[in-house]
Amino acid sequence: MHSDIEGILISQQRIAARIKELAAQITADHSPSKLDGGEITIVPIMTGAMIFTSDLIRQIPIAMKIGMMTVSSYPGKSVQSRGSQMLANQVGEITGRHVLVVDDILDSGGTIHMVVPALREMGAASVKSCVLLRKDRPTAHAVHVDYVGFEIPDKFVVGYGLDYNDYYRNLPDIVTLKEQVHAT
Ligand code: 5GP
Ligand code: MG
């Protein structure tokens, strides 16, 4: 697995430091006075956001529920978006709740563009979004997100939850792969 890595783009130390800042900002923005007595539901977009979400929410000391949504945009060995498709909705009851969608990366923008209105239609009082990474692409900048961890070049990355053909999610850093790995 490690021989497939071209280089580390964002180290686990940088990820951890940035998550601290994001969590502090999210905590301040969701203080009880700002929620008007409401509660929050965190919605990680599975499977990519799993590791990011678990690190992030343990630094947000606010009463919360977690509901999951599974969306597929890079099925199998794709390294380009095939369009976003909702595979499972386990968000639960969110009527009147303040929802924070968490995703690993903003690329074509298709996922956030589909998920945010869907959650509003399910009756959420508000819907905000947080992505760990945003690619330097016009489509990624055309979609509104409330919290962004890192701006990255338009490259295919894996690790820290992000996969290629479902592998590499367990790498602690965000890395790029050698060309021959995803050219096959
Ligand atoms: P979007 O819907 O904005 O095009 O992309 C969001 C989804 O596509 C992400 O949740 C992620 O699953 C997948 N994706 C986009 N770019 C990359 C990438 O560079 N690497 C990996 N592993 N997945 C990506
Ligand atoms: Mg995803």
Answer yes or no: is pLDDT of 183 > 90.
no
Distance CA 132, CA 56 (A): 10
- This prediction has a pTM of 0.94
49 CB neighbour count, 10 Å cutoff:
27
Q: Which atom of ligand 1 lies closest to the CA of 106?
A: 3
In the chain, at which residue ranges do the beta strands (DSSP E only) sit? 5-10, 40-46, 64-66, 68-72, 85-90, 98-106, 126-135, 147-152, 157-158, 174-177
Task: Report how far residue 59's alpha carbon sits from residue 17's, in angstroms, rounded to the nearest whole number.
Answer: 12
pLDDT of residue 184: 57
Catalytic status, residue 107: yes
pLDDT in tens, 71-107: 988 777 887 777 788 888 899 999 999 999 999 999 9
Residue 60 has pLDDT above 60, yes or no: yes
Whole-number Å distance between alpha carbons of 95 and 132: 26
Q: How confident is the model over 138-147, as pLDDT tens digits?
A: 988 899 999 9
143 CA: nearest ligand 1 atom: 3
Ligand 1: residues whose CB is within 6 Å? Answer: 45, 48, 73-74, 81, 84, 103-111, 156-158, 162-164
Catalytic residue, candidates 55, 103, 104, 107: 107
Distance CA 184, CA 181 (A): 6
pLDDT class of 54 with cuts at 50, 70, 90: very high
